[in-house]
Structure 1
Amino acid sequence: MDNIKIFWICGILLVPVVNPTLQYSIISDNYFVEAQNSGDVDLLSTCAGTYCMDHAGCQNCDFPPDCKYGEEVQVNCTANSICLSPVSAKIKAKCRFCWQIEEDEQECEETKHCMSWDTRPVRTTCRAKPTVYCMGRRVFFKNVRCRWSNGYSWSKTLFLSVTLGGFGADRFYLGLWKSAIGKLFSFGGLGVWTLIDIVLIAIGYVGPADGSEYI
């Protein structure tokens, strides 16, 4: 009775009306638990009020328990209850867990606050794309190489090194302030430092101070 409003006008009982906000809240709470179990709480906003059959994450799919990795199987998928039309369909998919999908089938968060020249892998969060059907959690951790860009251009850096390298313009641009000031007051090491920097920048040895990659 908490979800039902009863209206009286002049002592006449009107038809009970279900409060849609409360009803939606109950469904949302249930689905939030399901989304949390799948590892992707963002699915709540993605799937709510849509038909969901175009988004694999909005469906509950039953893979054969004895399927082999990489084998193409037929799975029965049902749109979640929060969707507009919770229908079922048979889908062809590969037998694999979500963390086993190809790189072009996943979306990963950009790795930052790490040095691009560091060979040690860093952990990031990835999720299966909406069109990819897979088993297990659709959101997973993955160790990747540190690769991110902050807008520093390699061609612009090389141009500054060739034209204004004697004044430390290339290193100022990269955020290497200490060496840039030393290069400025030494007039590019009387030309020697400038020539060395041109080579080092050309081969990518000298990069941005924040550890990002060139664009």
Structure 2
Amino acid sequence: MSSYLMLFLLLLDIYCRSVIAYLSSPHVAQEPVYSVQQSPVMSRPLALNSSSAAPALTDRYLSRCPSGGQCSRLPADCIICSFHHNCSYGRPANFTCRAKAGVHCVGDPSRPQQNFSLTLDCRFCWQLDPSQYICSDSSSCSTVSCPRRRYNTSCEALEHVHCLGKRVFQKRLFCNWTGGYKWSTALALSVTLGGFGADRFYLGQWREGLGKLFSLGGLGVWTLIDVLLIAVGFVGPADGSLYI
């Protein structure tokens, strides 16, 4: 029995060796091995137009700068000056200036000029007269108060006004806005229909108007007092604005 088992194992070993040798022989075609390669991601081609290829440099100040005029009369946005601060406040001083790129101007003999001298008063932009700059009004502060209230706002020097320092500056001004209420209308209502609270209703003070209406103007006393207060401007619109 053992001899048959040994013979069987020997034949099995010979068979396995022959199979392995056959599979490893070069004439057996093997499957090609394919590697997964990531294809490059194709993005959408960028269309180049005139603005993206070569952005046009547009100088905003050129539209406000007259060409061919006198250099000393150009607006402040059209020139570049070398300001110095060693001048006496309020007195005229000379500064060397030149026109910006693209701005052409002439001198006194009507000849093209690049550098020129500009005479202006020695003062910073925030020291200008109120008529030489413009500020943004505030409608959130009350004009009827004692003492008068102020508000912080941004101001800018006018186009043809030359000054030292920054042209945009901060100022603290009195509340001076108006909501469209007329002093003459309020006074006329106070004299004629003040006993019914018409003046208070017109000014937006409806609580005081109801009080005058149901008390018949405080039996005339409240009406007389309101006529005097509106006449002197002590009683104003409820929104805190000025009369017009």
Q: Verify same fold: TM over 0.5.
A: yes
Say whether the 8 Å CA contact 1:57–1:138 is kept in structure 2: no
Range with bigger deviation, 194-203 or 119-128? 119-128
Distance 2:205 2:231 in 1: 17
Larger mean CA deviation between 199-208 and 99-108 belongs to 99-108
Give the superposition deviation at 1:66: 2.4
| Matched AA of 2:220 | G
Among 134, 142, 145, which residue is 1:107 paired with?
Answer: 134
Q: In structure 1, what is the Cα distance between the partners aligned to 2:172 and 2:225?
A: 35
Q: 1:121·1:145 contact (CA, 8 Å) conserved in 2?
A: yes
- Once the two structures are TM-superposed, the CA of residue 212 in structure 1 deviates from its matched residue by 0.4
1:27, distance to aligned residue in structure 2 (A): 4.6
Aligned pair 1:71/2:81, yes or no? no
Distance in 2 of aligned mates of 1:194 and 1:145: 31
Alignment partner, residue 50 of structure 1: 64
Shift of the alpha carbon at 1:125?
1.2
User: Bigger CA drift: 94-103 or 117-126?
Assistant: 117-126
Inter-CA distance 21–147: structure 2 relative to 1 (3 Å threshold): farther
2:191 to 147, 162, 169: 162
d(CA) in 2 for partners of 1:22, 1:155: 64
SS in structure 2 of the partner of residue 206 of structure 1: coil
Show structure 1 runs of 4+ deviating over 6 A: 20-24
Q: Does 1:85 align with 2:104?
A: yes
Give the Cα–Cα distance (whole angstroms) in 2 for the partners of residues 24 and 78 of structure 1. Answer: 27
Listed as ranges, the gaps of 5+ residues in structure 2 are 1-47, 67-72, 106-113
TM-score, structure 1 length as denominator?
0.74
User: How far apart in 2 are the matches of 1:65 and 1:205?
Assistant: 45
Q: CA deviation at 1:59?
A: 2.1
Structure with larger RCO (C-alpha < 8 A, sep 6+): 1
Over the aligned positions, Cα root-mean-square deviation in angstroms equals 2.6
Between stretches 84-93 and 153-162, larger displacement belongs to 84-93
Matched residues, percent identical?
Answer: 44
Match of 1:12 in 2: none
- Higher-Rg member (1/2): 2
Name the aligned partner's letter for residue 63 of structure 1.
F
Tell me the residue number matched to 1:35: none
- Count of residue pairs the alignment pairs up: 181
Does structure 2 retain, via aligned residues, the 8 Å contact 1:148–1:212? Answer: yes
Q: In structure 1, which of residues 26, 36, 42 is the aligned counterpart of residue 57 of structure 2?
A: 26
TM-fit CA distance, 1:23: 6.5
Q: Do the aligned partners of 1:94 and 1:134 also contact (CA within 8 Å) in 2?
A: yes
Q: In the TM superposition, what is the alpha-carbon distance from 1:70 to its structure 2 partner?
A: 2.0
CA contact (8 A) 1:63 1:95 kept: no
